[in-house]
Amino acid sequence: MAKSIPKIGSRKTGRIGSRKHPRKIPKGVIYIQASFNNTIVTVTDVGGRVISWSSAGSCGFKGTRRGTPFAAETAAGNAIRTVVDQGMQRADVRLKGAGLGRDVALRVIYRSGILLKVIRDVTPIPHNGCRAPKKRRV
């Protein structure tokens, strides 16, 4: 029986790239998930592999301050800084959620110098599928 050829750069064989020479990523996808409690910014390459991510909680904000626009600005700046150093020039943006940090995070990405090709809203909208939970009584 023939011997299988191992894939170069697979997870079984170890690291995908070398640490001395960072990967050059010209194009990517930026996901902004803005809820009322937190804002998460994830940057991937076109294939979907995560290059960088940040959230308001990982930036040191706690409690209700995680949902603020300033926390979203800090999270987006942290996520974008590493990919700009790796040479990202163009990106597609996917916005999800209705939080306060949604517009601010987009503004930070726009100011970073990355050319935004498409800004797409992928917020899930229910078409009256499931029954809503009962009203909260306080």
Question: What type of residue sits at position 112?
Answer: S
pLDDT tens per residue across span 36-94: 999 999 999 999 999 999 999 999 999 999 999 999 999 999 999 989 988 899 999 99
Question: Could you tell me the residue ranges of all domains in the chain?
Answer: 23-119
Q: Pairing state of beta strands 90-96 and 115-121? A: parallel
Return the CATH architecture of domain 23-119.
2-Layer Sandwich (3.30)
- Other CB atoms closer than 10 Å to residue 116's CB: what's the count? 14
pLDDT tens per residue across span 86-111: 889 999 999 999 999 999 999 999 99
CA dihedral 5, 7, 13, 15 (to 10 degrees): 160
Q: Pairing state of beta strands 39-45 and 50-55? A: antiparallel
DSSP letter assigned to residue 65:
G
